[in-house]
Structure 1
């Protein structure tokens, strides 16, 4: 574990075990039932995604459209909340308001991936209304979306690097170049364990990030052997669909 950590309450826990879109083995991702299942397992961190409806309501949903995960169709950004709230994840669970995810479990730390420009204002508004600043990390593949969301907030939240920032850091780390510039306005990196069959992270990256006072979270890790490898490398958090398995691995190491 790194000794110099970002100065934000989101990172107070010694290790961030993040339940990816909550926890469901039945395809109910990003539902209130999935988030409750993660809480019931003992999780204090969950990962979710945010989109905005055409009338400015933030919902917790990964895809731009309702087609894959619900019994409805259409792009969230083109639909009013009155339509989106009728959709059922897996045919049974409603699409939740992001505000409900933030407000239902007052101690739960929530990593929010801002998926589209339409979500920027609604997501910021949901954080403001719930006063969840101390337990939110705002992330996005787009650094511009992250910055635009954070700029609308009245208090600091935790932040994670976008794809281009993370790529510059990873390439620079391999080349032994100074890479502080790419991470100046974020608290950490959330990066994939692999791109295709190729691992993208090594212990040198982790050490460099820690030297810069940044945390390293890795997604989406669902196999015990990969969890063990990453823990041996000294990372600070794992995002997993298998919250049950990750809990067992962390318990075995005294990190739960």
Structure 2
């Protein structure tokens, strides 16, 4: 049985399908157009990363700099919003704020990866202003950064494990001591992990079973090929993050697991 952690974010009848940075075949990741495409495709969950500008505006953007995907250059944390807002993703789409995403689709569930300490306070304020506590999941490679966001919020939100908890859990699972990790897992609702880290296979039948025994879901990123999606779903994973929202939707439909 798929565990249902005690938070409304996880209220969904089948595996969670998360559109990674929205959905765009044109390289317009983390743009309002990409998020709209995911919603139009029937997705109830999207993933985004966040950074904050020098004047405290939190933006839905993966990189620390504008260089890779926009027509401008510069480190977001060192630039005011008045400059960042002029950048165009792929030369055409503006950089959205987190509040743009949360406010435009009030039913959409958003997995938020907090990429920098400077984004902690602005992320808290965006969630508080939009009242989005029931439909966000806070993630970060840094467990301390993730905890800082949780401490700032007035209500509980869903949250996934950072690198230190994931590493400890995977090691404990491999040596047969996963039950001893349950106290660590008590502070999180899910583990969001890649299939492997270097030579270490993170997602196995045993790690999934051990997570489920602790009442925690397993979400896997970033999976873009149908055979791998099927394999992971056969292992019992509870969610998949993908750049190919079209492929994942088709996979779930063939399995009778697609629900909007």
Q: Same fold (TM over 0.5)?
A: yes
Distance 1:170 1:99 in 2: 35
Distance 1:118 1:67 in 2: 19
Report what 1:225 is aligned to.
Answer: 227
CA contact under 8 A between 1:166 and 1:182: conserved in structure 2? no
Cα RMSD, aligned residues only? 1.0
Distance 1:217 1:88 in 2: 31
Structure 2 residue runs without a partner (length 5+): none
The number of aligned residues is 255
Cα distance, 1:197 vs structure 2: 6.4
Cα distance, 1:194 vs structure 2: 2.5
Q: Which digits, 9 at most, give the CA deviation of each residue in 1:173-202, with x for residues without a partner? A: 011103213312111100001234653210
**Residue 246 (structure 1) aligned with residue 252 (structure 2):** no
Report what 1:180 is aligned to.
Answer: 182
Distance 1:224 1:202 in 2: 18
Q: Tell me the TM-score normalised to structure 1 length.
A: 0.97
Report what 1:129 is aligned to.
Answer: 129
Report what 1:212 is aligned to.
Answer: 214
Distance 1:142 1:182 in 2: 15
Structure 1 residue runs without a partner (length 5+): none
Q: Tell me the TM-score normalised to structure 2 length.
A: 0.96
Runs of 4+ in 1 over 3 A off after TM superposition: 196-199
Task: Name the SS for the 1:49 alignment partner.
Answer: strand
Distance 2:126 2:28 in 1: 22
Task: Name the SS for the 1:6 alignment partner.
Answer: coil
CA contact under 8 A between 1:19 and 1:242: conserved in structure 2? yes
Report what 1:54 is aligned to.
Answer: 54
